[in-house]
Structure 1
């Protein structure tokens, strides 16, 4: 049993960078959309359990993204198992990050959560939003793109 847990830990510590690279435009899209509608907060990716033959570089990710506004972040993080001692520093990071150039990201797989502050981005959240809207069919095949009058970034 311990070995299985260790193997799961190895997977959990190796998949995040690849996931972020593979899905960065969507992460940035949801981050900007959340900030514009709710203010600062944390972008959460709830990732489906990988199969036993999981290989990060060839994996098609099943995930759901949501944005948790700052006012709801502490209860959410506590519910996900983050220590109450860590909450004040995480809330300070959420309050102080530059939403135009940075993303606070929580990765959640099988109730295991890790938090990242993505900084020095080559593509800003607003550019991610614009690219996803412009290439909607590549990202969101079930649904309509925002009407240009409802877009947060004017093109």
Structure 2
């Protein structure tokens, strides 16, 4: 779902596509790692405004925070995001129905702006992202802080 706010348009249009392209391996890693620990859930990326700054060419590493929120913690955790009931329903339905080894539910957050995505027909699946990132952890480490949130937390 694309929000109406023009901040999301950033650099020459829809900046999220570029962000996702640049960070898909880590998003997939987080999705599969969270699924292995807690089952179904959503990856939440908290993105700093500098990621969409006109001076950001996309070639430099943009640090962001990533969190996996398990399905059983979803309602409680997302209340802090001030989503309206329709968006909460859409998110809960997406998390309940996606195919974890083939798809990713992603909530991107920048300040008060939110966007929900369901990724299907991926070129690389979450288990493959997990394997690749695990093998090359040092290469991916500079851009990410990850957290998982499940029933144990």
Common fold, TM-score beyond 0.5? yes
Range 53-62 or range 31-40, more displaced: 53-62
1:45 corresponds to: 45
SS of 2:49's equivalent in the other structure is coil
State how many pairs are aligned.
137
Instruction: Tell me: CA distance 1:7–1:121, structure 2 relative to 1, closer, same or farther (3 Å).
Output: closer
SS of 1:137's equivalent in the other structure is helix
Check whether the contact 1:42–1:68 (CA below 8 A) recurs between aligned residues.
yes
What root-mean-square deviation, in Å, do the aligned CA atoms of Structure 1 and Structure 2 show? Answer: 2.2
2:104 corresponds to: 103
Range 96-105 or range 66-75, more displaced: 66-75
1:68 deviation in Å? 0.4
Check whether the contact 1:101–1:124 (CA below 8 A) recurs between aligned residues.
yes
1:73 corresponds to: 74
Check whether the contact 2:8–2:15 (CA below 8 A) recurs between aligned residues.
no
SS of 1:19's equivalent in the other structure is helix
Q: TM-score, normalised by structure 1?
A: 0.79
Whether 1:83 aligns to 2:84 is: yes
Q: TM-score, normalised by structure 2?
A: 0.80
SS of 1:86's equivalent in the other structure is helix
Q: Kindly name which structure, 1 or 2, has the bigger radius of gyration based on alpha carbons.
A: 1
Unpaired runs of 5+ in structure 1?
Answer: 1-5, 142-155
Q: Distance in 2 between matches of 1:95 and 1:52?
A: 35
Q: Distance in 2 between matches of 1:82 and 1:52?
A: 25
